Amino acid sequence: MYRNARGRPGAVLAAAAVAQFVFALDMSVVNVALPAIRATLGFGPLGLSWVVHAYALAFGGFLLLGGRACDLYGKRRVFVGGLAVFGVCSLAGGLAQAPWQLVAARAGQGLGAAAAAPAALALLTTTFPEGPRRVRALGVWSAVNAAGGALGVLAGGLLTEYAGWRWVMLVNLPVVAAALALTAAGVPADARHGARERMDVLGAVLATGGTGLLVFGVVRTDAEGWGSAVTWATLAAAAVLLAAFVLAESRSSTPLLRLGLLRSRWVAGANVLVFLAAAGQFTAFWFVSLYMQQVLGMGAAATGLAFLPFSAAMVAGTFAAIRVTSVRGPRAPLVPGALLAAAGLLWFAAISPDGGFLTDVLGPSVVTGAGAGLVLAPVAAAATTGVAAREAGMASGLLNSSRQLGGCVGLAVLATVAAHRTGAATGPGALNDGYALGLAAAAALFVVAAAVAVAVLPRRHRDGGTAAPSEKQLEGIPS
């Protein structure tokens, strides 16, 4: 029996952080292993991309559904179930003997992550009340999330080179086991429900279909192109489904996403901001990794090691943001952080085909990483300010969806911009010019993010009552 309904806060934070680390790690760890995977399993040139796309599609498509499931069926229950699915599918991927088996396993990993990731964030926001303790907890969660994404490149390179590509999947198993053990040790059991709300089935179908088609249309632009009829038809279908989703939610008594939640300037502003920041950050990872390997000629393991300064700076920026946010609120570090990240990316945009790690990568990595850390730590606190515990999963699913969609859309658009600059040329000079343009465009996204923080987020720590109902207003209502 736990001492209180919040369980052991340290164990809750540790479980959520470990889970978020492995989900972020899995977004990037596979990329470096793709050539080895193709050689072993016999993927075709287009089929190989689905090792990445299957995870992104399932993860992005089911996040809103996963977030709402937390509120209806229990955060701990959904968290454990999502972790279990993720772990089983990681094992299946590591043992895959055919291309379709690996792609199916990657889709299953994305589905498990889509359930457990919003549950992890919801557990934090309900365990740690608003104030400095929540800011510190979300800061640790954000730092671990950032470190997982950056270290995935390093882990993928080292595992592929020294242990074999199957270990980029199997390495998840001990991490998942650790998260489950921490959950058993300190995450409280879900409260007993009274009359449970029903799942918004229509909203779930429309949201999952719409976001899934959006992710599918965007990630397939690498093969179809933005001018393709297939691309436009897919994106048009996604727009129709998402518009229908908004209409359905406005009329539903038990919505998957309560549209009133978006009347909060904290919630709306933070989700727009994280969309832009994720687009810039994912793009930076992509272009800098390609620059080091295809222009500077660095190997996979060396490229992974080169990302360590970026990771360290991001963690340092995150903990600096915790201190500022605890005193002045989440808005305070967001503007300087976004502008610092933009400055770092503009510095990156000065890359040269005759450059090197010390002259072209190290300095801008530190500046960009510190700025991104200042942004990503408080944005989670901003997105959950004023949100009631009974809607914590809903808000968490929305934030994770915004981050995932921002990364997918931003990378696809800016990769197209870079490819247009490069044209048909394949030499280091042409590639360098394309990557530089992409990095400059990513800097512009962070500038827009800073403008959103200034224009939308309130100066005061609370939103004047436009957020979700307070906990006192919800007393006596089953959660």
d(CA 329, CA 235): 38
Burial class of residue 250, CB neighbours in 10 A (0-12, 13-18, 19+): exposed
**Given pLDDT bands bounded at 50, 70 and 90, which one contains residue 476?**
very low
Mean pLDDT of the residues in the chain: 85
Q: What is the pLDDT of residues 69-80, one digit of tens each?
A: 988 889 999 999
Q: What is the pLDDT of residue 46?
A: 63
Q: What is the pLDDT of residue 45?
A: 62
d(CA 117, CA 59): 9
The position carrying tokens 């918004």 is: 200
In 39-164 the beta strands, taken as DSSP E runs, fall at none
Q: What is the mean pLDDT of residues 365-382?
A: 90
Residue 22 tokens, joined: 């492995």
Helix (H) or strand (E) holding 363: helix 362-383
Q: What is the mean pLDDT of residues 212-219?
A: 84
d(CA 292, CA 332): 34
DSSP state of 384: T
d(CA 248, CA 251): 5
Q: What is the pLDDT of residues 80-130, one digit of tens each?
A: 999 999 999 999 999 999 999 999 999 999 999 999 999 999 999 889 888
Count of other CB atoms within 10 angstroms of residue 255 = 21
Burial class of residue 228, CB neighbours in 10 A (0-12, 13-18, 19+): middle
pTM: 0.83
Count of other CB atoms within 10 angstroms of residue 240 = 14
Count of other CB atoms within 10 angstroms of residue 424 = 6
Percent of the chain with pLDDT over 70: 91
d(CA 421, CA 431): 9
d(CA 173, CA 166): 12
Q: What is the mean pLDDT of residues 197-222?
A: 83
Q: What is the pLDDT of residue 293?
A: 83
Q: What is the pLDDT of residues 308-333, one digit of tens each?
A: 898 889 889 988 998 898 888 888 89
d(CA 155, CA 149): 10
Q: Where are the alpha helices (DSSP H) in 42-171?
A: 50-73, 75-94, 99-127, 132-162, 167-170
d(CA 142, CA 67): 18
- How far does Cα 86 stand from its chain's mean position? 16
Residue whose C-alpha is closest to residue 286's, from 144, 163, 441: 441
